[in-house]
Amino acid sequence: MRIASSPCERHLLPLIEHGIHLHIRLMPPEPARTAPRPAARNLPRNYALVLDVIRSPGRHHHRTAIEIFDETRARNPDVGFATVHRGLGRLVELGLIAKVELPGGAAALYESETGAHAHLRCRRCGAVRDVDATVIPEALAERVRRDADFVLDAAGATFLGVCRTCGGER
Ligand SMILES: [Zn+2]
Ligand SMILES: [Zn+2]
């Protein structure tokens, strides 16, 4: 979540300065066995291939349409970009994948994690990680609701910062 727009900024920055700690739980690297993925039935063969490309590295991977196209093409050279592009749109429509547009990101990213979650994005290397929607503590949400008449929503929020690889503090 980028705290840049004015009414929230005035209320949020003092809160953070006064030591509200954000306990961030990273999403587990592999899918929980109890949460089966939505079935992909009756998909055109090329769309099913695109879905498989997106799902194959596991959850919590975010890739651009171009990256997905490159990998799809590596598996089947006959698939064109237009097909991949249409396939991505259809898969999003069906709820089989999610499309995310992050602040500071040049291109939309696609991922197989369709549950509500927030993102951490490194300002330096652009790495994106998933965090679960409890990233905004109830006390902070309540304070913002009261002081700014604004309901914070962690689902879809993006926090910009610096990752450990790029020298972020531990
Ligand atoms: Zn980084
Ligand atoms: Zn994500």
Give residue 48 CA to ligand 2 midpoint distance, Å: 21
pLDDT in tens, 125-137: 988 999 887 777 8
Ligand that lies nearest to the alpha carbon of residue 160, given by its number in the listed order: 1
Give residue 130 CA to ligand 2 midpoint distance, Å: 5
Give residue 95 CA to ligand 2 midpoint distance, Å: 14
**pTM of the predicted model as reported, rounded to 2 decimal places:** 0.71
**136: number of Cβ within 10 Å:** 19
- Give the domains, in start order, of the chain with CATH numbers: 6-17+44-161 (1.10.10.10)
Q: What percent of the chain has pLDDT over 70?
A: 75
Cα(143)–Cα(137) distance, integer angstroms: 10
Ligand that lies nearest to the alpha carbon of residue 123, given by its number in the listed order: 1
Helix/strand/coil (H, E, C) string of 64-85?
EHHHHHHHHHHHCCCCCHHHHH
Q: Helix count (H) and strand count (E) of the chain?
A: 5, 6
Give residue 118 CA to ligand 2 midpoint distance, Å: 7
Cα(38)–Cα(145) distance, integer angstroms: 35
pLDDT in tens, 56-109: 988 889 999 999 999 999 999 999 999 999 999 999 999 999 999 887 777 899
Ligand that lies nearest to the alpha carbon of residue 60, given by its number in the listed order: 2
Question: Tokens 């690297």 appear where?
Answer: 29
Ligand that lies nearest to the alpha carbon of residue 166, given by its number in the listed order: 1
Ligand that lies nearest to the alpha carbon of residue 125, given by its number in the listed order: 1
User: What is the pLDDT, as a whole number, of residue 94?
Assistant: 93
**138: number of Cβ within 10 Å:** 8
